[in-house]
Amino acid sequence: MPLNANEYVVQTVNLTKVFRDFWRRPKVRAVDQLTLEVHRGEVFGLLGPNGSGKSTTIKLLLGLLFPTSGAVRVLGRPPRDVSVKARLGFLPEETYLYPYLNAAETLEFFGRLSGLSRPERRRRVGALIEMVGLGHVRNRPLREYSKGMARRIGLAQALVNDPELLLLDEPTTGLDPLGAREVKDLILELKRRGKTILLCSHLLAHAEDVCDRIGILYGGRLCVAGSVGDLLARSQLTQVTLPALPPHDTDRLRALLEGFADPSAITIGHPVDRLESFFLRAIEEARQARPATTGAVAGHFEPSLFRTLEPPSPADVIERLTHPSPATAAEPPAPPEQPAPPPETRQDVIERLAVAQQAPPSPQRPAEPAAPVAPPSEAAEADGRSVIERLAHKPKHGGQDQGSS
Amino acid sequence: MTAVARHRLATLAFVGSLVVHLAATGLSLLLDIPGILAPVRIVTTIIALPALVALFLDHPVWTIARNTLAQAIRVRVAFVIMAVYLVLVPALPFVVRGDGTLRGLLHVVIGYSLIVAGLLLGILTLTLSTTTLWTELRDKQILLLEAKPIRRWQILLGKLLGILLINAALLAFMGLVTWASVRYLVARAERAAREIPDQDAAEKRRAQNRLRDAREQVLSARRTLLPDPPPESDLEEFVRRNVELRCRQLERPDRLPPEARGIADEAVRRAVIRAAATQQLTEEFGNLVNAVPPLMGRRWRFSGITVPRVRELNVTVRFKFFSSDRKSDQPDHVRWEFGVPNRTKAYYINDAFLPDEVHEIQVHADAVDQDGVLEVRYYNVEPRRPTHIFAATDSIQMLVPVGGFAGNLVRGLALIFVEVLFIAVLGLFCSAFLGFPVSPIVALAILLVMFLANSVKVELEKGFTFDQNKESPVAQVAETATRVVTTALHAILPPFHKYTPSELVSSGEEVSLTLVLDATWSIALVYGGILMLLGMHIFERREIALATP
């Protein structure tokens, strides 16, 4: 297979990584015959359970690990090429920063390493700190930062050189729902600007929201890859989408449709298929095909170990609305007439929080990162976009990175 | 020129100059032509230095160095070292009395300050160099660095540069503290001398003498000269007079040299015996001229003395003799005479000196003649006292002032810096492929072996044996093995023992620029350069972030 630099920003061909023990005996096959192609300008989601080889793949793409066999090309070149690194941004799974530097110094440091000129650095560092909402704590050493704040600085450093390709490993971990939302908006905005983004995530809803294509890794192998729309479409069924019908129209429709298909196969309702269930199905199929796994096996939530707190607080509502975890989403959806949760919509909550944060942050908790800082809703988007506008000095699908030479 | 091409060219230039330098060193040793080393050194330095600058001052290297520096400052390790030094060194004059003289006090203070400086910086450097890379690997900042346009070897080089900058700053600080302590002690002694009332003239003169002694013997840079070897004609005369008698003695079967046994041809046998006799007599001559029995004398000649024309200056004759009576702890009366007959003023001194100790005599510089020659005569004046024995080498030296204390201190600090540089390179080299705490332990072990190898070699040369019974096979095997190992280690490890800044500066001996350059080449550039290149090579090819989270 030719390695085409123009078409693919990331390309691996039969990439295999075998970890060996001290005696050079093969121990773990972390990545197995992985052939992956990420096109220019798309958001590609690399999904998989723990230990499926996502992080190993990222490390191979960065040249931190060397392939046992197979080929890797990033931006058309071998991954350890310095010119590749100048056009690349990376956010690792956890944010690893220098605790003795402050936000500005951190970005300054990575900006210098990226070879940005002094005025360019000044401009981008200031704007990026504002963009990730850390302007008011820019001079505090990072050792005093919370996890979410560190995550935001991590994201800022990945963007410091205005990269063409972003490798984001779990970009929303440690962020509150608002922060996660901002990151998703940011990803979409960067995509609009022609950047290519490779995203690893466990949070399937996030992946579904932003990814054009996804690949699911299991046991180091790519078991499924394709566009989100194609993969989630269930082609054995036909779906006709209409505005909601009154009950008697539904009955008429059913009578009409019985001429086309077996009445028991006809469902009239509100069709929902989440990426999550698709993901679980894909993993189950892969498990049946290949029982061996290199990482963790699927666990089961044991409810008796945990108390259920009633009633759920508004924060829990946001959490469930914006952050559905596999465990909660697997439960049957709560009937809407259930009285316990206050009937607030997500927008209501966000607006309420936005009003609350107009007041200055309380001095007792200056390190609280996300909610008070993050500019929410439309205002935030407009704000964030204007910053992005200033930062991205390239036309859409822009070719060479001028900040890197 | 692209960055990659520039790096290749610079590395090639540096490695090339190292190879040329090593080849020249080897040739000069093998063919015994020390003259070729100096020009080669100049040329290779001209090539190697810009290459190093090109590698070090690269933008990413400099960025890493700044970060390393920021780390040392922010985690306050640099300040801790400064504070420790500030507590240890200025407090010393109040604790130590020395031998009661200002000279002794300054000797102790300077020596101790420099030893503490070297020790503190050595510990700091070993810690920094073995942990700085490891913490980045452990805390995984390396993942972020790796995603930026910087090569791994540049990370290592940046770390080295950062550590060197910290050390340079700390060394400058320590030098200032030492210098200030010395200034304070001298000023205090001067004040004390001034405050002695004029009527107590003897005491005032003694105080001023003590000050002068301190200035001349500690606060100066004095070059060491060895006496000229005794003229060849003396030896030839001695051998000619005695060889026939010695040959006749060696003819006796019980004294026949082993190499002459079993030779049938009479002419060959005679020639062999004569060669053995000549050798014995040559050795004996060396011993003979170094032994001074009672009522006998001995003469040395120093030449090539470039005395500063400031005639107030003194030159120093430093000597040490052994007594043939090993148990003697009495001082022996001797007479020293200085000056070239008929050419210069003559000075003499009659005094008693203890055997087995180093003594210094100040001689007015006008005892040296216009050609830079000084003759020294020595008489063992007391009858019925032991014979005085001078060791064949360095039992008598002459120290000629060539510079001041400040310059000597700076050059001494430069020597410490070179040693610290090697420790930094060693630490980074170990951490390029070893984790914590293995890398500091390995680095420390190498350093200890380096210092021990020389001591063991010295002991072996002094005739150390593992067993009183020299013939026992165990002793022989152990001795041979030790000899082989220490010789090998001595040959491959950097010659740290050749550079002793604290000893030199504290006894007012010159740390010459040649010595500093020699240390820079042999320790910093050759050993440091090779080790650093090796470390960079290993780190560049190493898989990092193996632990999958």
For residue range A51-75, list pLDDT tens digits in order. 888 889 999 999 989 999 999 999 9
The alpha helices in B343-437, defined as continuous H runs, are: 405-431
Q: Is B201 helix (H, G, I), strand (E, B) or coil?
A: helix
Q: Which helix (H) or strand (E) holds A227?
A: strand A221-227
For B121, the token pair is: 């910086």
Three-state DSSP at A37 gives strand
| Average pLDDT across chain A, whole number | 73
pLDDT score for B405: 92
ipTM, two decimals, is 0.77
The alpha-carbon gap from B490 to the nearest alpha carbon of chain A, in Å, equals 33
Is residue B188 within 8 Å of B105, Cβ to Cβ? no
Strand partners, A44: A198, A213
Phi first, then psi: give them for residue B134, nearest 5 degrees: -65, -40
Asked if A293 is an interface residue toward chain B (Cβ–Cβ < 8 A), one would say: no
pLDDT level of residue A290 (50, 70, 90 thresholds): low
Rounded Cα distance, B324 and A327, in Å: 95
Using the predicted structure, report yes or no on whether residue A387 has a pLDDT greater than 50.
Answer: no
CB contact under 8 A, A113 and B70: no
CA angle A246, A247, A253 (to 5 degrees): 95
Nearest to B75 among A83, A100, A404 (CB): A100
Give B 117-146 residues with CB within 8 A of chain A. 139-141, 143-146
Contacts of B74 in chain A (CB under 8 A): 100-101, 141
**Residues in chain A closer than 8 A to B143 (CB atoms):** 59, 62, 64, 90, 92, 96
CA B310 to centroid of chain Cα atoms = 29
Shortest distance between the Cα of B61 and any Cα of chain A, in A, equals 9
Nearest to A115 among B64, B141, B149 (CB): B149
Between B308 and A350, the higher pLDDT residue: B308
Average pLDDT per run of 10 along chain B, which is 549 residues long? 84 91 86 82 87 85 92 87 89 74 89 93 94 88 90 93 95 95 92 88 88 87 86 83 88 81 82 89 80 87 74 78 79 90 88 88 85 89 86 81 91 96 96 90 92 81 68 79 83 86 91 90 90 93 64
Percent of chain A with pLDDT over 70: 68
Tokens of B38: 């100096």
pLDDT on residue A315: 41
Query: Which of chain A's residues have a Cβ under 8 Å away from the Cβ of B149?
Result: 82-83, 85-86, 113-115, 404
Of A50, A80, A76, nearest in space to A65 by CA: A80
For the stretch A174-215, pLDDT in tens is: 787 777 888 888 888 888 888 899 999 877 888 888 899 999
Minimum mean pLDDT among A222-226, A345-349, A396-400, B131-135: which range? A396-400
Closest CA of chain B from A56, distance in Å: 7
The pTM for the full model equals: 0.77
**Does A105 lie at the interface with B, CB-CB under 8 angstroms?**
yes
Q: CA of B522, closest CA in chain A: separation in Å?
A: 33
Q: Residue length, chain A? A: 405
- With an 8 Å Cβ cutoff, is A326 touching chain B? no
Long-range contact set of residues B509-513: C-beta below 8 Å, sequence gap at least 24: B509/B221, B509/B222, B509/B223, B509/B224, B509/B399, B510/B221, B510/B222, B510/B223, B510/B224, B510/B402, B510/B403, B510/B408, B511/B221, B511/B408, B511/B411, B511/B412, B511/B414, B511/B415, B512/B223, B512/B411, B513/B411
CA B409 remoteness from chain centre: 15
The span from the CA of A27 to the CA of A18, in Å, is: 7
pLDDT at A376 over 50: no
For A92-117, the pLDDT digits (tens) are: 988 888 999 999 999 999 999 998 89
Q: Distance between alpha carbon B404 and the CA centroid of its chain, in Å?
A: 19
Q: Is the pLDDT of residue A390 over 60?
A: no
Residue-wise pLDDT for A122-159, tens only, equals 988 988 888 888 888 888 999 888 888 888 899 899 99
Look up residue B525 and give its two tokens. Answer: 């550039």
A297-324: average pLDDT: 37
Enumerate the residues of chain A whose CB falls inside 8 A of the CB of residue B4: 82
Q: Which of A164, A170, A225, A216 is nearest to A195 (CA)?
A: A164
**Cβ–Cβ gap B67/A98 under 8 Å:** yes
Distance CA B533, CA B526 (A): 11
Measured CA to CA, the distance from residue B276 to residue B296 in angstroms comes to 29
| Residue B4, both tokens | 């990659």
* CA distance to B81, B84, B118, B183, per residue, from B180 (Å): 18, 16, 18, 5
Tell me the pLDDT band of A330, cut-offs 50, 70 and 90. very low
- Contact B545/A at CB under 8 A: yes
